[in-house]
Chain A
Amino acid sequence: MSATTIVSLPDQATAQMPKRSYLNNEHGLLSWLLTADHKRIGMLYLLSITFFFFIGGAFAGLIRLELLTPQPDLVASDTYNKFFTMHGIVMIFLFLVPSVPATLGNFLLPIMIGAKDLAFPKINLLSWYLYMAGGIFTLASLVLGGVDTGWTFTTPLSTHYLNTHVLTTATAIFIAGFSSIFTGLNFIVTIHRMRAPGMTWFRMPLFCWSQYAASLLMVLGTPVLAIAIVLLALERLFGIGVFDPAKGGDPLLFQHLFWFYSHPAVYIMILPGMGVISEVISTFTRKRVFGYTAVAFSSVAIALFGFFVWAHHMFIMGVSNYSALVFSLLTMLVAVPSAIKIFNWAFTMQKGSITFETPMLYAFGFIGLFTIGGLTGIFLGSLGMDVHLTETYFVVAHFHFVMVGGMLMAFLAGIHFWWPKLTGRMYPESLSKLAAVVTFIGFNLTFLPQFVVGYLGMPRRYHAYPAEYQVLNVLSTAGATILGVGYMLPILYLGWSLKYGAIAGNNPWQATGLEWQIQSPPLTENFLETPIITHEAYDYEWLEEKMKLEKQEVTHVG
């Protein structure tokens, strides 16, 4: 199939705010706290994860400030250890894991497949309460004096040697885990059972495919984390000895259990972001995503392979040489679907008609940073290289390139892209472009030097370091300052736009997704009548036809 498409932006001037929408359907705090509307729950999540992001960010700032000088001079060592522990726990469990699925996924997934809501609206609300309970336990452990296990909870340090609030924090993560299990279940059932007539699997937007793959991981992986946490608590409370060599236990068992979840968890974090990128790139190139099927299947492939590479976190821990070989090989294989996606996105631009609005800039940021993050993952998957690099700042740089450079960029791309749909208003374009560029520059300045200092050998989680590493650390701290500005800007102008932003209209980007064919912000019931789908995802000809028809109707009526 090869055809031409012209799409032009609608007249913003005539767009009006709809009288009725999910936002003003009901009033009062309770109507939000007891809502079963997936859109309102998505907004609740958006507020709460933003709150936790800034808590996590504050700790990042403190970490970087301490590392400005080689001496351990800003805070005591225990305090520093609590900083990076809190930073990791908040960012991973309370920001990254729920980020795209619980906010944009919640809001958009039902609409994209033409459903009125998720399969289990009340369980969806329960998920949010569980998330908040997890958050409150985390804050409690912070207020009570903190915890210094690191987000990896390594035994026997966490079970026998620390007297901080390990159990409170473990409870937090245990509870928050159920929040993501329920979200995952809800998504899986919704995608299987609630698609509108005509919405076949291969007509779904790629965003839905990536949410589906991530949901599989959440449902299958998170229970293992729960088990690991329960065993950890029993070991700490009663000394049952599963991880204690003196009692015949195996100290490596905890590592296996923990990474069996936490490795797939990195794909829980990145897959939904990849879904966002597919939507954004298609929309701003006005083109179908190149090789739709390959991109869809690569999400599923990542989810499947993702379960069989966990021991690549343990190459120097004395796993047998042969299992190290197998896990290294599988790690190489899991990198391939990501490479496929990158090239498919790049080639989606070929022969497109490209514009460069803010979401597209963030998507470019994603592609660049995720490419570096992914390729440096190959360094770490390569056995002999990993020996030198593991547990150093090289690893810190690698996962920040993937998680912050990749996922956070994708999250911001998605937030800007769907902001008109979420709120009915546009964000200010030039300010947001500035923020995207500032973020990109700040990010690289923060984390590129960490690759170098990591190869020099600087270990992660170090409160003090040899003086010869200072230059690189100062660069990194300077970059973090710029990055901080890049993250503050969206908060300010997005807040501003809630009241003063231009009215968006239904489809400001001329995008093809079902969510763009309904009013912004949507009605509580999403669709007045169940849509019947007769076209594929990213079908810009269908969109053009539809718009022609609508124009005729308008002129007719007028």
Chain B
Amino acid sequence: MGISPVLWQFLVNWLHSSALFPTEASTIAPYTDALYFFLIGMTIFGVVLVGALVTVFSLKYRREKHPVAVQIEGSTLLEATWTIIPLAIFLVTFVWGALLYFRIYNPPANSMNIYVVGKQWMWKAEHPGGQHEINALHIPIGQPVQLTMISQDVFHSFSIPDFRVKREVIPGRYTTVWFQATQTGKFHIFCTQYCGTLHSGMIGEVTAMTPADYQKWLSESTSGMSLAQNGERLFASLGCIQCHSGNAASRGPNLAGVYGSKLTLTNGQQVTVNDAYLRDAILNPSEHVTAGFSPIMPTYQGQVSEDGLIDLVEYIKNMQSNYRVHQTLMTSDSDKAAPTTPTTGTTQER
């Protein structure tokens, strides 16, 4: 063949560096791929069957061989067959897909949590220890990791193809996704929901590392303050502390140990306190009044950034007692400081 060796070399290299199938790098990936192969099998079967019917009939009944058409009305038996068999196959894929979906979106109880904030056009990850990263995410392998995500502006979508997970990142509400990486390496992060000019630049890299390397990375990347510590400062500076002091006489409910508990609201609703509930209660208090309290809490809408909210949530989540609250109150009382009214300026932008 007249193909030049240079061109040949180029083609070989080119094909070599291009993938045709994504890496299976999470515990979920094999499950997703199993369903995928089943579905491909179904498609091939369907296309071959239809193709065979059309080809055989075309050959057998073409005008030259079969000049006279025989009129046929239909056949209830045949039609029932090709209603029921596809239906059965589709129902199998429905059940299989549903099981997979529940596996993908129900995190194990022992997963560690990392926060992700999406904004045009970057991903910001915040580890509980206060490590921040932009368009990057370091995670340990062999351990379930849950991401609690929110957008600061438009819809985004957080996708790691090699883990086969993806979730929309929406303004105004937390969404979560979890995965457990099975091999070390670097994997793509894509924003898959069109989000404006630099949509295709909203990409990043997951670095999956051994737990030991991950610990090392954590200690080298610390910013000195954990999210909860930032939250504690906000809790004081926004004035939350005045009402949520945990004292019997205080005007707001005690927040120590509230995370994970069940509350009854004044409107009779039963809720479980999770990240989303805490965030909503800060921004929209009038709709989240715990039974026995009056609706006096002001809204903090527009006064705390999403990062600030994450700090507060993380603080309340980890708050086991009111000991430090009292300490802070005592020091500020001794200053006779008036309760601070929150202003926009108090948010911490990082």
Residues of A at under 8 Å CB distance from B?
A: 1-7, 72, 77-78, 81, 148, 150, 152, 154, 156-157, 160-162, 245-246, 248, 251-252, 285-288, 290-294, 315-318, 321, 324-325, 328-329, 332-333, 335-336, 339-340, 342-344, 346-347, 349-356, 364, 367-368, 371-372, 375-376, 378-379, 381-388, 390-392, 452, 455-457, 459-472, 540-541
Contacts of B200 in A (CB 8 A): 72, 77, 459, 461-465
User: Is A385 touching B35 in the complex (CB atoms < 8 A)?
Assistant: yes
User: Is B69 touching A388 in the complex (CB atoms < 8 A)?
Assistant: no
Among B47, B157, B190, B199, point to the contact of A368 (Cβ < 8 A).
B47
User: Is A336 touching B90 in the complex (CB atoms < 8 A)?
Assistant: yes
CA gap between A355 and B61 in the complex, in Å:
9
User: Is B66 touching A468 in the complex (CB atoms < 8 A)?
Assistant: no
A460 to chain B, nearest CB (A): 8
Instruction: Given A383-B101, A459-B159, check contact A291 B75 (CB 8 Å).
Output: yes
CA gap between A4 and B69 in the complex, in Å:
6
List 30 A-B pairs, Cβ < 8 Å. Answer: A2-B72, A7-B69, A150-B194, A156-B155, A245-B172, A291-B74, A316-B168, A318-B168, A333-B87, A336-B90, A339-B86, A343-B79, A346-B50, A346-B53, A347-B53, A351-B69, A351-B70, A353-B66, A354-B58, A364-B54, A375-B39, A375-B46, A375-B47, A382-B93, A383-B101, A457-B188, A461-B199, A463-B199, A468-B17, A472-B20
8 further A-B contacts with Cβ under 8 Å, apart from A5-B71, A291-B75, A350-B72, are A148-B196, A161-B196, A252-B170, A332-B91, A333-B87, A335-B86, A387-B166, A471-B15
Contacts of B61 in A (CB 8 A): 285, 349-354
CA gap between A315 and B68 in the complex, in Å:
52
Instruction: Given A6-B68, A336-B86, A375-B42, check contact A349 B17 (CB 8 Å).
Output: no
Contacts of A332 in B (CB 8 A): 87, 90-91, 93-94
User: Is A384 touching B32 in the complex (CB atoms < 8 A)?
Assistant: yes
Contacts of B96 in A (CB 8 A): 382, 384
Contacts of A1 in B (CB 8 A): 71, 73
User: Is A316 touching B53 in the complex (CB atoms < 8 A)?
Assistant: no
**CB closest chain-B residue, reference A454:** B161
Contacts of A387 in B (CB 8 A): 32, 100-101, 104-105, 164-167
User: Is B69 touching A464 in the complex (CB atoms < 8 A)?
Assistant: no
CA gap between A195 and B36 in the complex, in Å:
49
Contacts of B46 in A (CB 8 A): 371, 375
CA gap between A469 and B195 in the complex, in Å:
22
Within 8 A of A (CB), among B1-46: 14-15, 17-22, 31-32, 35-36, 39, 42-43, 46
Among A161, A344, A352, A364, point to the contact of B66 (Cβ < 8 A).
A352
User: Is A321 touching B302 in the complex (CB atoms < 8 A)?
Assistant: no
A194 to chain B, nearest CB (A): 28
**CB closest chain-B residue, reference A465:** B200
CA gap between A343 and B157 in the complex, in Å:
39
A149 to chain B, nearest CB (A): 8
Among B14, B154, B157, point to the contact of A471 (Cβ < 8 A).
B14
Within 8 A of A (CB), among B140-184: 153-155, 157, 159, 161-162, 164-168, 170-173, 175
Q: By CB atoms of chain B within 10 A, which of A160, A329, A381, A456 has the most?
A: A456
CA gap between A339 and B43 in the complex, in Å:
12
Q: Is B348 an interface residue (CB 8 A)?
A: no
Residues of B at under 8 Å CB distance from A?
A: 14-15, 17-22, 31-32, 35-36, 39, 42-43, 46-47, 50-51, 53-54, 57-58, 61-63, 66-75, 78-79, 82-83, 86-87, 90-91, 93-94, 96-105, 120, 153-155, 157, 159, 161-162, 164-168, 170-173, 175, 188, 190-201, 284, 301-302
Instruction: Given A157-B154, A388-B32, check contact A316 B74 (CB 8 Å).
Output: no
Instruction: Given A353-B67, A540-B71, check contact A324 B101 (CB 8 Å).
Output: yes
User: Is B43 touching A81 in the complex (CB atoms < 8 A)?
Assistant: no
User: Is A251 touching B155 in the complex (CB atoms < 8 A)?
Assistant: yes
Among A3, A346, A382, point to the contact of B54 (Cβ < 8 A).
A346
Instruction: Given A294-B74, A318-B170, check contact A378 B93 (CB 8 Å).
Output: yes
Contacts of B36 in A (CB 8 A): 379, 385, 388, 455
**CB closest chain-B residue, reference A292:** B74
**CB closest chain-A residue, reference B162:** A457
CA gap between A350 and B199 in the complex, in Å:
51
Among B71, B91, B157, B173, point to the contact of A245 (Cβ < 8 A).
B173
User: Is A321 touching B72 in the complex (CB atoms < 8 A)?
Assistant: no
User: Is B22 touching A541 in the complex (CB atoms < 8 A)?
Assistant: no
A444 to chain B, nearest CB (A): 12
Instruction: Given A4-B70, A318-B175, A391-B193, check contact A386 B188 (CB 8 Å).
Output: no
**CB closest chain-B residue, reference A315:** B101
CA gap between A325 and B170 in the complex, in Å:
21
User: Is A457 touching B161 in the complex (CB atoms < 8 A)?
Assistant: yes
B328 to chain A, nearest CB (A): 30
A498 to chain B, nearest CB (A): 29
User: Is A340 touching B161 in the complex (CB atoms < 8 A)?
Assistant: no
Among B87, B101, B120, point to the contact of A321 (Cβ < 8 A).
B101
User: Is B102 touching A321 in the complex (CB atoms < 8 A)?
Assistant: yes
CA gap between A405 and B87 in the complex, in Å:
24
Contacts of B171 in A (CB 8 A): 156, 245, 251
CA gap between A460 and B194 in the complex, in Å:
8
Closest 10 CB pairs of A and B: A384-B100, A457-B161, A245-B172, A382-B97, A383-B101, A291-B74, A391-B192, A349-B57, A462-B200, A332-B90
User: Is A368 touching B50 in the complex (CB atoms < 8 A)?
Assistant: yes
User: Is A470 touching B18 in the complex (CB atoms < 8 A)?
Assistant: yes
Contacts of B173 in A (CB 8 A): 245, 318
A148 to chain B, nearest CB (A): 7
CA gap between A470 and B18 in the complex, in Å:
7
User: Is A456 touching B100 in the complex (CB atoms < 8 A)?
Assistant: no
Instruction: Given A288-B73, A292-B74, A294-B74, check contact A391 B166 (CB 8 Å).
Output: yes
CA gap between A248 and B286 in the complex, in Å:
12
**CB closest chain-B residue, reference A459:** B192
Among B70, B75, B93, point to the contact of A3 (Cβ < 8 A).
B70
CA gap between A328 and B91 in the complex, in Å:
10
Contacts of A285 in B (CB 8 A): 61, 69
User: Is B161 touching A456 in the complex (CB atoms < 8 A)?
Assistant: yes
User: Is A2 touching B199 in the complex (CB atoms < 8 A)?
Assistant: no
**CB closest chain-B residue, reference A374:** B46
CA gap between A81 and B121 in the complex, in Å:
15
Contacts of B102 in A (CB 8 A): 321, 384
Instruction: Given A288-B71, A332-B90, A471-B18, check contact A384 B103 (CB 8 Å).
Output: yes
Q: By CB atoms of chain B within 10 A, which of A2, A162, A252, A391 has the most?
A: A391
Among B69, B153, B196, B301, point to the contact of A287 (Cβ < 8 A).
B69
User: Is A81 touching B197 in the complex (CB atoms < 8 A)?
Assistant: yes
User: Is A340 touching B82 in the complex (CB atoms < 8 A)?
Assistant: yes
